[in-house]
Amino acid sequence: MPQDATGSYSRKRCREIMTSDVVTATPDMSLREVAVMMRDSDVGALPIIESGRLVGIVTDRDMVVRAVADGKDAETPVGDVISRELFTVGPDDFVFEAARLMGDKQVRRIPVVEADGSLAGIIAMADVALQMEDEREIAETLEEISSGLSFWNKE
């Protein structure tokens, strides 16, 4: 990737672009409660917090694939269907590190976590895209993150 293409966000830190006012859930909440929170907040994923620490994330897809498809009912604890394998960045990490992680791990959101494990915020693909300098860059970067192509290894 040419140097100038990464310039707009290579120097920015995650804390500068993350959403810090994040709606969260706990593992003991029911699928129904979490689905209502997602609907009311207009989000497709919620970080799961337990004892002040990030322990997982649940997406609308998780709820369909791991819950509905498996016949779980609406009162099932969301902790039964969350993703516990987390890919995170720290608030002082560079934004390009979050973008690289999104592409490498094929995820659309990256929790931003403090050293003590507490949630500081979340970065979505759209947050990264807003840092791009032109529309072509935005389209190419989003396509590469979504497809899993490593845009960091381009010549």
Assess contact for 109 and 91: CB atoms under 8 A.
no
Task: From residue 120, give the alpha-carbon distance in Å to each of 40, 69, 142, 151.
Answer: 21, 32, 24, 27
H helices of 11-153, in order, are 14-17, 31-41, 60-62, 95-105, 125-129, 135-147
What domains lie within the chain, and their CATH numbers? 3-153 (3.10.580.10)
Of 108, 147, 120, the C-alpha closest to 17 is 120
The residues of the chain scoring below 70 in pLDDT are 1-10, 132-155
pLDDT score for 4: 44
Task: From residue 98, give the alpha-carbon distance in Å to each of 87, 123, 140.
Answer: 9, 8, 16
pLDDT score for 57: 96
Assess contact for 91 and 99: CB atoms under 8 A.
no
How far apart (Å, rounded) are the C-alpha atoms in residues 49 and 104? Answer: 25
Q: Is 58 exposed, middle or buried (0-12, 13-18, 19+ CB in 10 A)?
A: buried
Single-letter amino acid, residue 94: F
